[in-house]
Amino acid sequence: DVKVTQSSRYLVKRTGEKVFLECVQDMDHENMFWYRQDPGLGLRLIYFSYDVKMKEKGDIPEGYSVSREKKERFSLILESASTNQTSMYLCASSGVLWENSPLHFGNGTRLTVT
């Protein structure tokens, strides 16, 4: 079974802090994604990566950066956390999309910025 592991289920951080959200997958997947999920807004793509050291902006990249130094690990970084970044953050991974590889999600990280 594919496993996508997010390092924290719950995080509470203060405004202005630098925050790291970590995600690890164990299936040698090329693609990794970071989404945030807010009530009424659905899932919104922040960043994705299709290979090591490669990254692409999603729909809402402002205030975020990412790092993919190893294939299995994709980190989301909030450079200076703000209250409007309080949200559920979901990491996902997949193989090559045009080869019908399914998408797999982690359990999510509920981040609260106070």
CB of 24 to another protein, least distance (A): 14
CB of 6 to another protein, least distance (A): 8
- How many binding residues for another protein (CB under 8 A)? 20
Report which of 85, 110, 73 is spatially closest to residue 18, judged by C-alpha positions: 85
Interacting positions 14-43 with another protein (CB under 8 A)? 33, 42-43
> Furthest-apart CA pair in the chain: how many Å?
42
Q: Which stretch binds another protein (CB under 8 A): 11-19, 67-75, 79-87, 103-111?
A: 103-111
Return the SS3 of 95.
coil
Q: How far is CA 22 from CA 54, 83, 92, in A?
A: 17, 20, 12
Q: Which of 3, 57, 97, 114 binds another protein (CB under 8 A)?
A: 97
Site string for another protein, 40-79 (x = CB under 8 A): --xx-x----------------------------------
